[in-house]
Amino acid sequence: MRPKIIAGNWKMNLSEKEALSLANGLKEKLPSRLGNKKAVVFPSSIHLASVARILENSPVSVGAQNIYPSPLTAMTGETGPDQLSELGIRFALVGHSERRQFLKETSVFCNQKISYLAKNNFTAVYCVGETLEEREAGRTFEVLGKQIQEGLGSIPSDVFPRIWVAYEPVWAIGTGKVATPAQAQEAHAFIRKEISSLFQNGSSIADAMPILYGGSVKADNVKELLGQPDIDGGLVGGASQKLDSFLALF
């Protein structure tokens, strides 16, 4: 039975005061609402240490929005898993559409990140998704297939329990638009099938992998989305950045 997961991506938002207030609110109020769900938040890098300290020993995990796949090295502006692990952080986003689009990160580079994270006992949350232009051109499955093959191919099967996938149709991120439950389920089922194809006996690996949906997830659609057989949670942007709207997802 795969867990249900609500992950909050705070992106480049919130002042220090707002981030700490939100973290304290989650620590106080979320445990009684969690039930059998898991919760993870991804603050901006400048707030990671403070938020991690607040949420230490709480049921809310903390992750980084980005990592560089290397031990300590001369890479200005980057953060490595060795530094994050000192804070008790064991999650990281990889391949979010904004980093793909504006910073030109490729699925091949994502593969390096995922492999390094998994080998160092982090959970990598690998983001995939098509643009509106690609969907309207009928290329959704082509794009998703390439992202899965390039991003997860060659990674050993034994580290797959430390990998999650997040399907985020680019046209639904921050737009207020959302894929219908049927559209989201179709994409999630395809992704699970592609993961299964990576190995000779890959169905058990694919069946165990959490796949989250991201794209304008809110309280009024989260229940129906998570009710789909292959949707295991949400990677949430705007609704995760205020206490009441995040709590409403549980």
CATH number at residue 26: 3.20.20.70
pLDDT of the residue at 177: 77
Catalytic residue among 47, 96, 105, 134: 96
Helix axes 140-152, 181-196, angle to 10 degrees: 40
| Active site annotation includes 96 | yes
Confidence of residue 1 (pLDDT cuts 50, 70, 90): confident
146 vs 173 pLDDT, higher one: 146
| Sequence-ordered list of residues with C-beta below 8 angstroms from that of 173, at least 6 positions apart, any chain | 97, 98, 129, 214, 215, 216, 237
Bind-site residues for substrate: 9-11, 174, 216, 237-238
pLDDT of the residue at 19: 98
The residues pairing with 55 across neighbouring beta strands, listed in sequence order, are none
Q: Where are the beta strands (DSSP E) in the chain?
A: 4-9, 37-42, 60-64, 91-94, 123-128, 163-167, 211-213, 233-236
Rounded Cα gap, residues 178 and 216, in angstroms: 6
* Number of domains the chain contains: 1
Average pLDDT over residues 118-146: 96
pLDDT digit string, tens, across residues 93-110 = 999 999 999 999 999 999
Q: In terms of residue numbers, what domain contains 183?
A: 5-248
Q: Encoding tokens for residue 50?
A: 């403070």
Tell me which residue of 38, 33, 39, 41 sits closest to 1, measured CA to CA: 38
Bind-site residues: 9-11, 174, 216, 237-238
Catalytic residue among 130, 168, 188, 194: 168
Q: What is the pTM of this model?
A: 0.96
